[in-house]
A = this chain, B = another copy of it.
Amino acid sequence: MDKRNSALPLILLSEQFARLPGIGLKSAERLAYHVMNMPESEVKAFADALLNAKRTVHCCDICQNFTEDELCPICSDPRRDKATICVVETPKDIAAFERTKEYGGVYHVLHGLISPIDGVTPDKLRIKELLKRIDGSVGEVIMATNPTVEGEATAMYISKLLKPLDVKVTRLAFGLPIGGMLEYADEITLYKALANRNEI
């Protein structure tokens, strides 16, 4: 935003929007102008939602998912199978698994993946909290990180830590996506689909 011809608070707001991921300078400017056209009550509601989310939401003591209470709704649900832990990168991944309506176990959110190039070393993830959960009652840990370099590396790293704890460690199956076409599948997906073939 042109500093000479615009009001300073508007420039500052625009800079705040531009700090958010995926919002460029032009969009940030557009959003700041949009805020100027919103009723003051709505702007207040937006500001309150920001502060409120940051102040009242924290990580579940057990699984590290975001929650307002001490435990998240999944960890505090007696119907969930506490013997199976699905390890995911972000709280958003939990929503994806819950949509399948097929998973009855609990989760563990790492809040990131190991990526030394971005300065994310294992101690920055919630790995200690996962290890603490592994007692005699846990039968299986499913490594459900994304099939990327960082996702694979993180799954391997954690599974090595889990092995001595006498717990079964599994990894999600990779292969052709349902509804996908063979001719559009990349080589690695097709290789995985072939290598992991099942008898029918």
> Interface on A for B, CB 8 Å cutoff?
1-2, 4-10, 12-13, 15-16, 19-22, 27, 29-38, 40, 42-57, 65-68, 72-74, 90-92, 94-95, 98-99, 111
Q: Is the CB of B98 within 8 A of A5?
A: yes
A94: which of B5, B27, B38, B54 is its contact (CB, 8 Å)? Answer: B5
For A34, the chain B residues whose CB sits under 8 A away are 20-21
The closest CB in chain B to the CB of A9 belongs to: B53
For A22, the chain B residues whose CB sits under 8 A away are 27, 30-31
With contacts A47-B50, A49-B16, A73-B4 taken as known, whether A56 is within 8 angstroms of B21 at the C-beta atoms is no
Q: Is the CB of A95 within 8 A of B36?
A: no
Q: Is the CB of B50 within 8 A of A98?
A: no
Q: Is the CB of A9 within 8 A of B73?
A: no
- Shortest beta-carbon contacts, A-B, top 6: A47-B47, A13-B53, A9-B53, A43-B54, A2-B95, A13-B49
For A5, the chain B residues whose CB sits under 8 A away are 65, 72-74, 94-95, 98
CA distance A44 to B55 in the complex (A): 10
The closest CB in chain B to the CB of A52 belongs to: B9
CA distance A47 to B51 in the complex (A): 7
Q: Is the CB of B7 within 8 A of A46?
A: no
The closest CB in chain B to the CB of A60 belongs to: B7
A10: which of B31, B57, B111 is its contact (CB, 8 Å)? Answer: B57
The closest CB in chain B to the CB of A97 belongs to: B5
Instruction: Report A149 CB to chain B, min CB distance, Å.
Output: 21
With contacts A13-B49, A46-B50 taken as known, whether A33 is within 8 angstroms of B92 at the C-beta atoms is yes
